[in-house]
Amino acid sequence: MALLRTMEVLGIDFGGTGIKGAPINTVNAELLAERVRLETPQPSTPEAVAATIIELVKHFNWTGKIGIGFPSVIQNGVVLTAANIDKSWIGVKVNQFLSVKTGCEVFVVNDADAAGLAELHHGAAKGNNGVVMLLTIGTGIGTAFFNKSELLPNTELGHLQFNKETVEKYASDAVRKKLDLTWKKWGMRLDEVLHYYEQLFYPDLFIIGGGTSKRLDKIEEFITVKTPIVPAQLQNNAGMIGAAMFANKK
């Protein structure tokens, strides 16, 4: 029983519009309680986000480890970028900051890398020994890159220059909403991006995560890349589950 408890981690996914959390069994990726989603505070400053995370901690009456997927490059527990969150996050020693705020042991990882880890162990990339590229598509576009089940952390391929902007500014779900693009128009944009990635990296598999994982059927007919493409099996929970798995290994 004591052993089991150590495998339970509160998984949190910090997104551009919502902060979601649930206690996770990191061995089988099961959610141990219904997931809770709170609005991401605007501006999403460290203090405001910490207050939202504390709400989640209180809701679950949590005292154990916490794993958080962050929409940023995270190196040695420090936030290095802030494309879609408040810029004041840059330079924050985030593991330390949120551990003090919550009174729990907190470990932060890039959100796409978290989703990739979950899919590698429990989802669409399980058993795949090749080059796997996961795209998490929401407010931004995040990427997780694996070769032979090894993660290359903090790849930021959503920020590659593309069509005079960046991939993320051309084809994210937020752009679809902002420009009110039809599924066809947006699907074709995503297809262009996938062709670009295909030419550069020749992956064996594309996995689509984030909210888009549930809507891949709407755009499938416009996707023409040769590389097989599948939705994240853990859907929009992949980030939360992977973040919990990451923290469990620490």
Binding-site ranges for ligand BGC (CB under 6 A): 71-73, 81, 83-84, 110-112, 136, 140, 142, 156, 158, 168
Nearer to ligand BGC, 66 or 83 (CB): 83
The residue (of 95 and 136) whose beta carbon lies closer to ligand BGC is 136
Sequence-separated (6 or more) residues with CB below 8 Å from residue 176: 186
End-to-end CA distance of the chain: 20
Which of 69, 4, 65, 98 has its CA nearest to residue 234? 69
Shortest reach from residue 250's CB to ligand BGC, in Å: 20
On the 0-12 / 13-18 / 19+ scale of CB atoms within 10 A, 164 is exposed
Q: How far is the CB of 65 from ligand BGC (least distance, A)?
A: 22
72 and 81 in contact (C-beta within 8 Å)?
yes
Please, what is the minimum distance in Å from the beta carbon of residue 213 to ligand BGC?
13
Q: Which is nearer to ligand BGC, 8 or 13 (CB)?
A: 13
Report whether 138 contacts 164 (CB < 8 A).
no
> Which residue lies nearer to ligand BGC by CB, 62 or 145?
145
What's the closest the beta carbon of residue 42 comes to ligand BGC, in angstroms? Answer: 16
